[in-house]
Amino acid sequence: MTKVVIIGGGWAGCAAAVTAKKAGADVVIIERTDLLLGLGNVGGLMRNNGRYTAAEEMILLGAGDLINICDKVSKHVGVDFPGHKHASLYDVSKIEPMVRKHLLEMGIEIMLETRAVDVDINNNVIGGITLHDDTTIYGDVFIETTGSTGPMGNCLKYGNGCVMCILRCPTFGPRVSISMKAGIEDILAQRNDGSYGAFSGSCKLNKDSLSDEIVKELNEHGVVVLPVPVEDINEEKLSLKVCQQYSLKEYAENVILLDTGHAKLMTSFYPLGKLRKIKGLENARYEDPYAGGIGNSIRYLSIAPRHNTMKVKGIENLLCAGEKSGFFVGHTEAIATGCLAGHNSVRMNKGMKLLELPISIALGDIIAFANDKINTAEGLQRRYTFAGSIYFDRMKERNLYTIDKEILKKKIKRLDLLDIFDEKLV
């Protein structure tokens, strides 16, 4: 039996668990907090722009489990907002228990409040993961999905300090880079000015603190656009954030709210005093991060060098996914990379050739494109998402973007990849 140990229970880790399990492995997820999904607990935005294509591709590849759950708990579908089309907004208060239930029903073991602190490694082969209590979890193949956000010292040195986000480092302890512990240097993102890391791209307001009109509009349409007072427009701030797909002029001149259960504010942070000058937000307060008026978490400080199969370079039995595997933005991107890593973990253990997705589909192309770019100086300053910025432009150029499910189905069939992640390998 192949035992796959996944470090990090965010979207990428959950996706890897699903496909590793489908391929026949014994799967355990180690998660330091008391919730799966990590930042997905305050996310919600799916299927906007090219993410629609990616979601459909995953379903066709046989890894639609998590996409289907997101669809099922979506409060709004087909939402358009500046620069974005046909978004779905899942309900952040419903998603985690549903994903957890699905994973448990599949027979995936979940170790919560369990923090990985080190690796046992010999001749570039990982034997086990050392936990905070000095015990060891042994396995055949390991998948690192620890992300790249925080911990507190990094958020202070490269941001505005800990602003108390959903990751809750003071409670559950800091994130640890497993690949770094195994002796592989992390790759770090840079901002346009060359400084390290980037701010997370959105914060969330408590919906009950907003005016009745805004709440009504959010409930009905899923989106509200409110103009920023002229004296408060700050275009410079756009370059700070990670989500370059929202680095548009509209996002400096307006406050854009999306209904994900919270009111998702599409900016890294926004001083509360200024926010309350906007009509309807007079009583607004932050839900995530709690100090969203001051700053946001700092990300992209811990990327592992990898192959397009998601295998980490230099270690025989370690794969990676999610933000750990590149400067990716978003849940869809995390799930996509996670699916491939989970499937390949079983191939790796069986000595089979690892699967590399073709660049004729969006999933394969973004994985390869982000990997090419990370080796360039300019690439360290870019982020990759199906939802916008340079990668969505590329999708359109290369004719990868479509919302026509039939076209996608024909293509995936032609590539002989239909339901490939659903196949049992052992």
Partner 1 sequence: MTKKIIYQCIDAGSDYCPCYLAETNDCITCYHLQGKEFCDCSWRGVCIFQEYNWNGKRAKIARENFSAKIVDKKIIGDNLIIFKMAVTKTFARHLKQPGSYIFIRDINKPDYFHTPMSIMYADDVKGEIHVAIQIIGTKTKSLLSIEDEIMVRGPYWNGVLGIKGLKTLKNSNVLIIARGIALAPAVNILRYLVRNNNKITLIMDKGKFSETFIEDYIDESRILTIEADIISEKGKLIIKELIRNNHYDLCFSGGSDPQHDAIKRFLDQLSPHTKYVITNNKEICCGEGICGSCSMKVGDKTVKACKTQMNTSYIFEKGEE
Which window, 67-75, 83-91, 163-171, 373-381, contacts partner 1 (CB under 8 A)?
A: 163-171
Q: For residue 81, how far is the Cα from the chain centroid?
A: 21
164 vs 288: CA distance, rounded Å: 8
Q: Measured from the CB atom, is 82 or 127 closer to partner 1?
A: 127
Considering only residues 387 through 406, tell me which ones interact with partner 1, judged by CB under 8 A: none
The pattern of x and - marking residues 64 through 103 that bind partner 1 according to CB under 8 A reads ----------------------------------------
Residue from the set 60, 121, 228, 417 that interacts with partner 1 by CB under 8 A = 121
Instruction: Pick one of 1, 105, 107, 134: the residue that binds partner 1 (CB under 8 A).
Output: 134
CB of 116 to partner 1, least distance (A): 10
Q: What are phi and psi for residue 90, nearest 5 degrees?
A: -80, 155
The answer to whether residue 25 forms part of the interface with partner 1 (CB under 8 A) is no
Tokens of 354: 């690892």
301 interacts with partner 1 by CB under 8 A = yes
Task: Please report whether residue 216 would count as binding partner 1 according to CB under 8 A.
Answer: no
Of 181, 207, 299, 306, the one binding partner 1 (CB under 8 A) is 181
Among 68, 104, 106, 170, binds partner 1 (CB under 8 A): 170
Dihedral angle over CA of 337, 328, 106, 65, nearest 10: -90
d(CA 162, CA 202): 15
Run of H or E residues at 85: strand 84-90
Show contacts with partner 1 in window 230-269 (CB under 8 A): none
Alpha carbon 413 to its chain centroid, in Å, reads 27
The one among 72, 104, 135, 153 contacting partner 1 by CB under 8 A: 153
Q: Quick one: tokens of 70?
A: 């997101």
**Of the two residues 154 and 260, which places its CB atom closer to partner 1 in the complex?**
154
Contact 223, 256 (CB under 8 A): yes
Q: What does the DSSP assignment read for 116-163?
A: EEEEEEETTEEEEEEETTS-EEE-SEEEE---S---HHHHHHHSSS--
Which residues lie near partner 1 (CB under 8 A)? 115, 117-118, 120-122, 127, 130, 132, 134, 150-154, 156-157, 161-162, 169-177, 180-181, 186, 301-302
